[in-house]
């Protein structure tokens, strides 16, 4: 038995469809990545249950939910947020057991953000405005044009395993406040927090069919059944780029709205004038938080040559001081990877980097604990140097606790190298030169650039990437625009 336990209601993790928790004949194990123990049996949705969920969502959109105003829908979302806050410890236990993420990090970010997502979009929708224009034509005719928002309909939301409750609520909250109904498919690796959110919706009395959760896998399972369903109006997906490509092909059949936040091979640039200690600490966070399993993590680090050797030494010392252990240990920085299967992928890149000529500054191996953690999915945080920019380990997303550090000599050079990527999600710049920060940031081809920080932003700002990192933007009014059908009403005065 694992030392990490799920709330009792999740030992049999069921689907939530049309206001009911539904068991199915086929189940699969939810495995704790920390020690390899079975946490729960998860009930896999078949095609008939996915059809039922979509039909229930359609009835909700065409019924009272779709016809309610934003203030009324907001009252329900506030109630859901209050229930999550009251059950904070249960959500925390589920998040840590499913992901192996350090307890302190999940407490400070994940559950808080889940609550905050519901409240933020409930607040935003009540005060959101649209466009209004007055026009006079050449013949003297006066027109007024105003824009209205209406629900898109049924939204399929497919969320990843690395930040389960954060990702799910980031999609569900704006979709729901706009009057849509949602069918959520969490990752098969992390089904627990989505089911707890369903319990919150059930307790809050949200009308049946508004919020649905189906469990299963991708191809030939719930993910494919949902993304190819003809009665889905929009798809929002966060995950790896290959899966996004497959979903986009399916969505093209019905010309559905899509918003994809995909992978990243993100760069960090440290200039010689940076606050040295802050930059070292920032790169540790941006490379190794959540064992590097964040699409925004920095896997490519470029350091100005005059401080390169000093920076590599300092980052090595700081990395080797990080505590890799049980998620609930005091002072732990890094827990396990999500699964032993994913660990095999990360370890294959460890081997490949050496084959491609990397110098392993630190890490590159599996730690040995001598206890149940050896049945888990741990690796050590790893730093490489010496790879050319065209190495596979510099081009492909590892999605593990790794970074490669390379020297650079000029602004122009580093911008060229940073932008030479098939991905375009995020970057960070470390400098005390304000002019340089403003000059360089717009020249990096990504959706978000951080200056002297990482993984923080105002939720009202746009979020998303380009190239293989995705399509579309969500956040603030950008989310309201995506999850709504906008109509221009033109009136002759």
CATH code at position 402: 3.40.309.10
Say if CB 28 and CB 44 are below 8 A apart. Answer: yes
CA distance linking residue 176 with residue 178, whole number of Å: 5
pLDDT of 278: 98
Whether 483 and 393 map to the same domain: the answer is no
Distances (CA, A) of 93 to 89, 185, 201: 6, 20, 19
CA distance linking residue 57 with residue 60, whole number of Å: 5
Q: Phi/psi zone of residue 93: left (φ > 0), alpha (ψ -120 to 50 degrees), beta?
A: alpha
pLDDT of 405: 98
Length of the chain: 493
Q: What CATH number did the domain enclosing 211 receive? A: 3.40.605.10
Q: Phi/psi zone of residue 142: left (φ > 0), alpha (ψ -120 to 50 degrees), beta?
A: beta
What pairing do the DSSP bridges indicate for beta strands 484-492 and 142-151? Answer: antiparallel
35 lies in some domain:
yes
Whether 174 and 280 map to the same domain: the answer is no
Domain ranges, residue 384: 267-451
pLDDT digits (tens, 9 = 90+) for 438-456: 999 999 999 999 999 999 9
What is the set of active-site residues?
261
Whether 159 and 35 map to the same domain: the answer is yes
Whether 481 and 334 map to the same domain: the answer is no
Distance between the two ends of the chain, CA-based, in angstroms? 73
2 lies in some domain:
no
Count of domains for the chain:
2
274 lies in some domain:
yes
3 lies in some domain:
no
Whether 290 and 186 map to the same domain: the answer is no
pLDDT of 249: 87
167 lies in some domain:
yes
Name the phi and psi angles at 473, rounded to 5: -135, 140
Say if CB 397 and CB 443 are below 8 A apart. Answer: no
Q: Is pTM beyond 0.85 here? A: yes
Whether 62 and 79 map to the same domain: the answer is yes
Whether 418 and 476 map to the same domain: the answer is no
- Which sign, positive or negative, has the C-alpha torsion 164, 209, 156, 131? negative
pLDDT of 98: 98
Whether 300 and 406 map to the same domain: the answer is yes
CA distance linking residue 93 with residue 101, whole number of Å: 10
Whether 93 and 143 map to the same domain: the answer is yes
CA distance linking residue 250 with residue 260, whole number of Å: 13
3 state DSSP class of 46? coil
From the list 486, 487, 481, the residue with the least C-alpha distance to 121 is 481
196 lies in some domain:
yes
DSSP state of 207: P
303 lies in some domain:
yes
462 lies in some domain:
no
pLDDT of 253: 84
Give the residue ranges of the chain where pLDDT is below 70. Answer: none
Task: Output helix, strand, coil percentages for the chain, rounded to the nearest 5.
Answer: 40, 25, 35
Whether 45 and 183 map to the same domain: the answer is yes
Question: Measured in whole angstroms, how far is the alpha carbon of residue 301 from the centre of its chain?
Answer: 22
Whether 243 and 292 map to the same domain: the answer is no
Distances (CA, A) of 89 to 5, 84, 190, 196, 493: 12, 9, 17, 12, 58
pLDDT of 242: 87
Whether 279 and 387 map to the same domain: the answer is yes
């Amino acid at each position: 038995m694992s030392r990490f336990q799920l709330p009792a209601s999740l030992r049999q993790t069921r689907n939530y469809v049309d206001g009911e928790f539904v068991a199915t004949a086929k189940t699969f194990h939810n495995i704790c990545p920390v020690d390899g123990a079975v946490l729960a049996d998860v009930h896999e949705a078949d095609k008939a249950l996915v059809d039922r969920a979509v039909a229930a969502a359609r009835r909700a959109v065409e019924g009272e939910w779709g016809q309610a105003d934003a203030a009324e829908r907001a009252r329900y979302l506030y109630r859901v947020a209050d229930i999550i806050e009251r059950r904070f410890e249960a959500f925390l236990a589920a998040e840590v057991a499913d992901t192996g993420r350090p307890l302190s990090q999940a407490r400070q970010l994940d559950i808080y953000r889940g609550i905050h997502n519901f409240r933020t979009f409930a607040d935003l929708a009540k005060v959101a405005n649209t466009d209004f224009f007055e026009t006079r034509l050449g013949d003297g005719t006066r027109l007024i044009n105003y824009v209205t928002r209406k629900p898109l309909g049924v939204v399929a939301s497919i969320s990843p395993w690395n930040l389960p409750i954060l990702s799910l609520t980031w999609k569900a909250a704006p979709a729901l406040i706009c009057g849509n109904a949602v069918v959520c498919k969490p990752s098969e690796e992390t089904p627990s927090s989505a089911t707890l959110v369903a319990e919150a919706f059930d307790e809050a009395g949200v009308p049946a069919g508004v919020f649905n959760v189906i469990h299963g896998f991708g191809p030939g399972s719930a993910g494919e059944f949902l993304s190819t369903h003809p009665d889905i109006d929009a798809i929002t997906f966060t995950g790896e780029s290959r899966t996004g490509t497959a979903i986009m092909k399916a969505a093209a059949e019905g010309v559905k709205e899509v918003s994809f936040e995909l992978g990243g091979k993100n760069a960090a640039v440290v200039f010689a004038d940076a606050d040295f200690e802050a930059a070292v600490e920032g790169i540790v966070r941006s490379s190794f938080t959540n064992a590097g399993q964040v699409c925004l993590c920095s896997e490519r680090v470029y350091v100005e040559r005059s401080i390169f050797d000093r920076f590599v030494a300092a980052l090595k010392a700081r990395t080797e001081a990080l505590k890799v252990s049980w998620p609930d240990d005091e002072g732990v920085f890094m827990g396990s990877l999500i699964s032993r299967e994913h660990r095999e992928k990360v370890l294959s890149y460890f081997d490949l980097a050496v084959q491609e000529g990397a110098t392993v500054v630190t890490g590159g191996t599996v730690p040995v604990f001598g206890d149940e953690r050896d049945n888990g999915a741990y690796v050590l945080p790893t730093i490489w140097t010496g790879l050319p920019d065209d190495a596979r380990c510099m081009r492909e997303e590892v999605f593990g606790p790794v970074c490669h550090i390379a020297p650079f000599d000029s602004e122009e050079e580093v911008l060229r190298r940073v932008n030479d990527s098939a991905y375009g999600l995020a970057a960070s710049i470390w400098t005390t030169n304000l002019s340089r920060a403003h000059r360089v940031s717009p020249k990096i081809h990504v959706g978000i650039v951080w200056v002297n920080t990482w993984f923080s932003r105002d939720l009202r700002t746009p979020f998303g990437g380009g190239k293989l990192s995705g399509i579309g933007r969500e956040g603030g009014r950008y989310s309201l625009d995506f999850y709504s059908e906008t109509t221009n009403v033109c009136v002759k005065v």
